[in-house]
Structure 1
C-alpha cells in the first residue's frame, strides 16, 4: 500500500520498478520452491510446515500481482479497470495482515510445544489436520478484516487531467475515514498480533528459564529448539520489515509533515522494505532448517537426473 502519491522524479521512476522486479522474481521463485517442497516431500508434512506453507502461499499471491503495481507506476495511471483494482488492493492488504497472523499462530504453536515439553505431556490434538483447519480459519479471518478495503477500493478520476488511479475511495468526510482506516490497520495488523506474540515469547522464555532451574524437567530436544529458533527469527525479520511501515502510520496520524522529496523517498523505502519481507522467508528456512535444505537438494537432484 503506497504511503504517498506517485512521485514523478526520474530517480524514483527508474529505481522503484527495478526493486519491485527483484522482489517479485526472488519472492516468486523462493516461495514457489517452499510450496513445492512441502507438498512433495513426505517428511515435510509437519504442523509448523503447514503454517509455513500458508505463509509462502500468501507471499506468492502478493508477488504475483507486483508486476501490475510496476505497470501502474511506469504508466503513471491505472489502465486495468475497477474489478482488477479491487483485487489488487485487496491482495495488497492481505499482505499486511496474513504474514503477521500466521506468525501469531506459529508463536502460539511454539508456546504450546514448549509448555507440553516442560510438563512432559503429549499433545494429541496437535496434528497436521488440525493445522490445516486453523490455517483455513486464519484465511477466513484475514478475508473478513480486509473486506472493508475491498468495498472502498475503486478507480478514481482526478480533475482536470482525467488521470485514473486505483485508490481507496472513502465517503465524506474522507479525511476521517482515511484516519480510521489507518488506525484499523495499525491495531489489527500490528498492535494486537505483535502484543500477543510478545506476551507468548515472554511466557515461553520464563518457562524455559524455570525448566533449566528445575532438575526434574526435561530440556527441549535439539529439533524442537531449532524449530523454535527458526520461528523466532522469521518473526524478527517480519517485524524488522513491517515495523517502519506501521510507525509511519503513527507519524502520519500525529503530525502534519509537508510532502518533500526526502519524505517521499523515505516513504518508498519503507514500502519497499515491507514488500521485501515476501521474498526473505525462503532463505531463512533454507539457512535455518536442515530438513528444508535436504529436501531442496533432493528435489534439485531429482530434476537434474
Structure 2
C-alpha cells in the first residue's frame, strides 16, 4: 500500500470515527442537559456543574464537521468569520471545562473532608451565578487569541484556518503561546485536582462512618458522587494529556515542521479531545443509577406515575440526601 493510499485510509477511518463521536456526544450531552434541567431530583450542586460541562461539550462538538472537512480537503472552506468562531468555541470549551472540573474537585474535597465548610461554601456561592461568571471569563480570555486567528494561504495555494502571532518567522512565540495556554487550561488545574483527590481518597479510606444509619448512607452517597467526579476528571486528563504534550513538542525545536507524523498526530490528539467531550454521558449512565433511571425516563416517555416510580425505586439514599450532593 502506497503512502497516499495509507493516508487516504487514515483520513477515511478518522472521519467515520469522528462522525460516530459526534452523534454519540451530541445525543448524550443534550440528554444530560434535558434530564438535569427538567427532573428536580437531579438538580444538585454537582449535577449543575455537570450540566454546564455538557453544554460546553455540545459547543465543542459543534466543531467536528469543520474539522472533518479540513482533514479531508486539507484546507479551510468556510471563510474568515467561521474560522474565528471555530477557534472561539474550541478555546472557550477548554477554559470552561477545566474550570468546571476544578470546581467539581474543590466541591467534592469540601463535601468529603470539610462538611461544615462545604455547607458554608454552597450557601455563599450560587453555582449557576458562579458558572455564568466562568463562561464570561472564558469568552474574554479567548478574545486576544481570536484577534490573531486568520486565514493563511500556503505555497500550494491551500487556505488554512490558523493562529498567526507577531514575529511568526520564529517558532518561539508559538511555543510561549502553547506553554501559557497549556499551563492555564491544563497543567495548573491538574496540580490542584490531583491534590484535592489525594486528600479525598485518603479521607474516604480512613474515615469510619458512625453507626447511625443516616451517617452510613451519607458517607456511601458521598463515595458514589466522588467516584463519578473522579472518573470524569480521569478521562478528561487521559484524553487531554496527549494533545498538550504534542502541542509542546510541535512548537518546540524537538519536532521538525517537515516531519511526516506532524499532521497525523495533530489529527489524532484533536480526535481524543472530541472523544472526551462525548464520553461523559456514558460515564454517568454506567456509574450513577439516578442518571440511568432519568435517561430511561426520557427515552421511554413513561406515564407520570411510572416516571415517579422509576425514580423512587432507584438510589433512594441519593434521593433522600439530595441536599448534600
TM-score category of the 2 structures, normalised to the smaller one: 0.7 to 0.9
Could you tell me which residue of structure 2 aligns to residue 169 of structure 1? 164
Could you tell me which residue of structure 2 aligns to residue 295 of structure 1? 294
- 8 Å Cα contact 2:113-2:199 kept in structure 1: no
| Structure 1 residues 252 and 68: alpha-carbon distance in aligned structure 2, compared to 1, 3 A threshold | closer
* Whole-Å separation in 2 of the counterparts to 1:282 and 1:262: 32
- 8 Å Cα contact 1:94-1:143 kept in structure 2: yes
TM-score, normalising length from structure 2?
0.82
TM-score, normalising length from structure 1?
0.87
SS for the counterpart of 1:155 is strand
Structure with higher RCO (Cα < 8 A, 6+ apart): 1
Superposed displacement of residue 187, structure 1: 0.6
Could you tell me which residue of structure 2 aligns to residue 178 of structure 1? 174
User: Which of 101-110 and 266-275 deviates more?
Assistant: 266-275
Could you tell me which residue of structure 2 aligns to residue 136 of structure 1? 132
Deviations 1:21-75 (A, max 9, x none): 1111111111011111111111111100100000000100111221122123323
User: Which of 283-292 and 252-261 deviates more?
Assistant: 252-261
Equivalent residue runs for 1:118-267 within 5 Å: 123-126=119-122, 130-159=126-155, 161-174=156-169, 175-209=171-205, 211-212=207-208, 220-252=218-250, 255-258=253-256, 259-262=258-261, 264-267=263-266
* Whole-Å separation in 2 of the counterparts to 1:210 and 1:149: 46
- 8 Å Cα contact 1:48-1:106 kept in structure 2: yes
Superposed displacement of residue 268, structure 1: 2.6
Question: Within the alignment, does 1:275 sit opposite 2:270 as a pair?
Answer: no
- 8 Å Cα contact 2:151-2:161 kept in structure 1: yes
Unpaired segments of 5 or more residues in structure 1? 1-6
- 8 Å Cα contact 1:35-1:56 kept in structure 2: yes
User: Which of 27-36 and 194-203 deviates more?
Assistant: 194-203
Superposed displacement of residue 207, structure 1: 3.5
* Whole-Å separation in 2 of the counterparts to 1:200 and 1:153: 36
| Structure 1 residues 66 and 128: alpha-carbon distance in aligned structure 2, compared to 1, 3 A threshold | farther
| Structure 1 residues 268 and 206: alpha-carbon distance in aligned structure 2, compared to 1, 3 A threshold | same
Superposed displacement of residue 129, structure 1: 7.4
Unpaired segments of 5 or more residues in structure 2? 305-325
| Structure 1 residues 154 and 214: alpha-carbon distance in aligned structure 2, compared to 1, 3 A threshold | same
User: Which of 50-59 and 289-298 deviates more?
Assistant: 289-298
Aligned residues: 296
| Structure 1 residues 263 and 154: alpha-carbon distance in aligned structure 2, compared to 1, 3 A threshold | closer
Deviations 1:183-241 (A, max 9, x none): 11221111110011111112223444553499999895221110011000111111111
- 8 Å Cα contact 1:104-1:197 kept in structure 2: yes
- 8 Å Cα contact 2:204-2:223 kept in structure 1: no
User: Which of 67-76 and 187-196 deviates more?
Assistant: 67-76
Question: Within the alignment, does 1:113 sit opposite 2:111 as a pair?
Answer: yes
SS for the counterpart of 1:9 is helix
Alpha-carbon RMSD? 2.9
| Structure 1 residues 260 and 173: alpha-carbon distance in aligned structure 2, compared to 1, 3 A threshold | closer
